[in-house]
Protein backbone atom coordinates (compact mmCIF):
# COMPACT_ATOMS: atom_id res chain seq x y z
CA UNK A 1 0.00 0.00 0.00
CA UNK A 2 2.97 2.25 -0.40
CA UNK A 3 2.05 4.92 -2.92
CA UNK A 4 3.77 8.13 -3.71
CA UNK A 5 0.74 10.11 -2.53
CA UNK A 6 0.36 8.70 1.00
CA UNK A 7 0.98 11.92 2.91
CA UNK A 8 -0.11 15.51 2.48
CA UNK A 9 3.57 16.35 2.06
CA UNK A 10 4.03 14.01 -0.90
CA UNK A 11 0.76 15.23 -2.43
CA UNK A 12 1.95 18.84 -2.05
CA UNK A 13 5.30 17.91 -3.61
CA UNK A 14 3.49 16.29 -6.53
CA UNK A 15 1.33 19.41 -6.98
CA UNK A 16 4.40 21.63 -6.84
CA UNK A 17 6.11 19.46 -9.47
CA UNK A 18 3.06 19.86 -11.71
CA UNK A 19 3.23 23.65 -11.32
CA UNK A 20 6.95 23.54 -12.12
CA UNK A 21 6.21 21.39 -15.18
CA UNK A 22 3.55 23.86 -16.32
CA UNK A 23 5.96 26.78 -15.89
CA UNK A 24 8.62 24.89 -17.88
CA UNK A 25 6.09 24.34 -20.65
CA UNK A 26 5.21 28.04 -20.68
CA UNK A 27 8.87 29.00 -20.75
CA UNK A 28 9.58 26.59 -23.61
CA UNK A 29 6.70 28.11 -25.57
CA UNK A 30 7.86 31.66 -24.75
CA UNK A 31 11.41 30.76 -25.78
CA UNK A 32 10.23 29.37 -29.11
CA UNK A 33 7.95 32.31 -29.83
CA UNK A 34 10.68 34.79 -28.86
CA UNK A 35 13.20 33.19 -31.20
CA UNK A 36 10.73 32.90 -34.10
CA UNK A 37 9.62 36.51 -33.70
CA UNK A 38 13.23 37.64 -33.49
CA UNK A 39 14.18 35.73 -36.66
CA UNK A 40 11.16 37.19 -38.45
CA UNK A 41 11.99 40.70 -37.24
CA UNK A 42 15.65 40.34 -38.16
CA UNK A 43 15.36 38.84 -41.64
CA UNK A 44 11.95 40.03 -42.84
CA UNK A 45 11.56 43.42 -41.16
CA UNK A 46 15.32 44.07 -40.95
CA UNK A 47 14.80 45.23 -37.36
CA UNK A 48 15.82 42.57 -34.80
CA UNK A 49 14.57 42.58 -31.23
CA UNK A 50 17.62 43.89 -29.42
CA UNK A 51 16.58 42.30 -26.12
CA UNK A 52 15.76 38.81 -27.47
CA UNK A 53 19.15 37.19 -26.85
CA UNK A 54 19.39 38.37 -23.25
CA UNK A 55 15.80 37.38 -22.47
CA UNK A 56 16.33 33.98 -24.14
CA UNK A 57 19.29 33.31 -21.85
CA UNK A 58 17.24 34.09 -18.74
CA UNK A 59 14.39 31.90 -19.98
CA UNK A 60 16.81 28.99 -20.48
CA UNK A 61 18.29 29.48 -17.01
CA UNK A 62 14.84 29.44 -15.40
CA UNK A 63 13.87 26.33 -17.42
CA UNK A 64 17.04 24.52 -16.35
CA UNK A 65 16.54 25.21 -12.66
CA UNK A 66 12.86 24.26 -12.78
CA UNK A 67 13.67 21.06 -14.68
CA UNK A 68 16.30 20.08 -12.11
CA UNK A 69 13.78 20.57 -9.32
CA UNK A 70 11.32 18.34 -11.20
CA UNK A 71 13.95 15.62 -11.57
CA UNK A 72 14.66 15.82 -7.85
CA UNK A 73 10.93 15.37 -7.21
CA UNK A 74 10.89 12.25 -9.39
CA UNK A 75 14.18 11.03 -7.84
CA UNK A 76 15.70 10.88 -11.31
CA UNK A 77 18.70 13.12 -10.84
CA UNK A 78 22.11 11.88 -11.92
CA UNK A 79 23.86 9.47 -9.58
CA UNK A 80 27.08 7.55 -9.76
CA UNK A 81 25.90 4.11 -8.68
CA UNK A 82 28.57 1.79 -10.01
CA UNK A 83 30.50 1.52 -6.74
CA UNK A 84 27.43 1.74 -4.50
CA UNK A 85 25.83 -1.08 -6.50
CA UNK A 86 28.67 -3.37 -5.44
CA UNK A 87 27.91 -2.86 -1.74
CA UNK A 88 25.50 -5.01 0.27
CA UNK A 89 21.91 -3.73 0.55
CA UNK A 90 22.29 -2.22 4.06
CA UNK A 91 25.37 -0.27 2.97
CA UNK A 92 23.53 0.91 -0.16
CA UNK A 93 20.74 2.28 2.05
CA UNK A 94 23.29 4.09 4.22
CA UNK A 95 24.87 5.60 1.09
CA UNK A 96 21.44 6.67 -0.14
CA UNK A 97 20.66 8.43 3.15
CA UNK A 98 24.08 10.07 3.24
CA UNK A 99 23.66 11.44 -0.27
CA UNK A 100 20.18 12.73 0.58
CA UNK A 101 21.58 14.50 3.64
CA UNK A 102 24.47 15.95 1.63
CA UNK A 103 22.01 17.22 -1.01
CA UNK A 104 19.79 18.76 1.66
CA UNK A 105 22.78 20.43 3.29
CA UNK A 106 24.13 21.83 0.02
CA UNK A 107 20.69 23.13 -0.97
CA UNK A 108 20.12 24.71 2.46
CA UNK A 109 23.49 26.46 2.42
CA UNK A 110 22.94 27.62 -1.16
CA UNK A 111 19.48 28.92 -0.21
CA UNK A 112 20.93 30.85 2.72
CA UNK A 113 23.69 32.44 0.67
CA UNK A 114 21.49 33.13 -2.36
CA UNK A 115 19.04 35.07 -0.20
CA UNK A 116 21.93 37.05 1.30
CA UNK A 117 23.29 37.64 -2.20
CA UNK A 118 19.91 38.85 -3.51
CA UNK A 119 19.65 41.31 -0.64
CA UNK A 120 23.10 42.77 -1.33
CA UNK A 121 23.42 46.25 -2.84
CA UNK A 122 25.38 44.93 -5.80
CA UNK A 123 22.39 42.89 -6.96
CA UNK A 124 19.83 45.54 -6.06
CA UNK A 125 21.37 47.96 -8.56
CA UNK A 126 22.26 45.42 -11.25
CA UNK A 127 20.22 46.10 -14.40
CA UNK A 128 19.73 43.86 -17.43
CA UNK A 129 21.21 46.03 -20.14
CA UNK A 130 18.93 45.42 -23.10
CA UNK A 131 15.79 44.83 -21.05
CA UNK A 132 16.35 47.72 -18.64
CA UNK A 133 14.92 45.56 -15.81
CA UNK A 134 16.48 44.84 -12.45
CA UNK A 135 18.33 41.53 -12.63
CA UNK A 136 17.22 40.39 -9.18
CA UNK A 137 13.95 39.27 -10.80
CA UNK A 138 15.90 36.82 -12.91
CA UNK A 139 18.16 35.79 -10.04
CA UNK A 140 15.16 34.77 -7.92
CA UNK A 141 15.28 31.35 -9.56
CA UNK A 142 18.25 30.34 -7.38
CA UNK A 143 16.47 30.56 -3.99
CA UNK A 144 13.23 29.32 -5.57
CA UNK A 145 15.07 26.28 -6.91
CA UNK A 146 16.74 25.61 -3.57
CA UNK A 147 13.46 25.91 -1.65
CA UNK A 148 11.46 23.70 -4.02
CA UNK A 149 14.22 21.10 -4.20
CA UNK A 150 14.50 20.98 -0.41
CA UNK A 151 10.73 20.58 -0.24
CA UNK A 152 10.80 17.71 -2.77
CA UNK A 153 13.62 15.96 -0.90
CA UNK A 154 11.90 16.29 2.48
CA UNK A 155 8.56 15.20 1.02
CA UNK A 156 9.94 11.96 -0.34
CA UNK A 157 11.84 11.00 2.83
CA UNK A 158 8.80 9.45 4.58
CA UNK A 159 7.96 7.35 1.49
CA UNK A 160 11.61 6.38 1.12
CA UNK A 161 11.85 5.52 4.83
CA UNK A 162 8.90 3.15 4.60
CA UNK A 163 10.38 1.53 1.51
CA UNK A 164 13.87 1.22 2.97
CA UNK A 165 12.76 -0.12 6.34
CA UNK A 166 10.19 -2.45 4.76
CA UNK A 167 12.93 -3.89 2.55
CA UNK A 168 15.23 -4.23 5.55
CA UNK A 169 12.65 -6.17 7.56
CA UNK A 170 11.84 -8.38 4.53
CA UNK A 171 15.51 -9.32 4.17
CA UNK A 172 15.82 -10.47 7.79
Please, are residues 56 and 31 in contact by the beta-carbon 8 Å criterion? yes
- Cβ–Cβ < 8 Å for 139, 57: no
Q: What was the pLDDT predicted at 7?
A: 82
The answer to whether the beta carbons of residues 24 and 67 sit under 8 Å apart is yes
CA distance 114 to 136: 11
- Going 37 to 42 to 46 to 50, the CA torsion angle's sign is positive
Confidence at residue 162, expressed as pLDDT on a 0 to 100 scale: 57
Contacts of 146 (CB under 8 A, 6+ apart): 107, 108, 110, 111, 114
11-65, pLDDT tens digit by residue? Answer: 899 999 999 999 999 999 999 999 999 999 999 999 999 999 999 999 999 999 9
pLDDT digits (tens, 9 = 90+) for 97-154: 888 899 999 999 999 999 999 999 988 888 888 888 999 999 999 999 999 999 999 9
Domain ranges of the chain: 8-171
* Helix-helix angle 141-171:89-118, to 10 degrees: 170
> With 0-12 CB in 10 A as exposed, 13-18 as middle and 19+ as buried, what is 70?
buried
Residue 165 has pLDDT above 80, yes or no: no
Predicted local confidence at residue 1, as pLDDT: 39
CA distances, 172 to each of 16, 70, 90, 164 (Å):
37, 35, 11, 13
Q: What is the pTM of this model?
A: 0.81
Neighbours of 107 (CB within 10 A): 20
Amino acid sequence: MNTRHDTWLSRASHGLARVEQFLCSLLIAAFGVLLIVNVFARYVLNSPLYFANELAVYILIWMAFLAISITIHHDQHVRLTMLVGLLPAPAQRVCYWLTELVCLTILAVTLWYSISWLRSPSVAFDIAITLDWPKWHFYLIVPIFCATSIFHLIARLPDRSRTVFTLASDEE
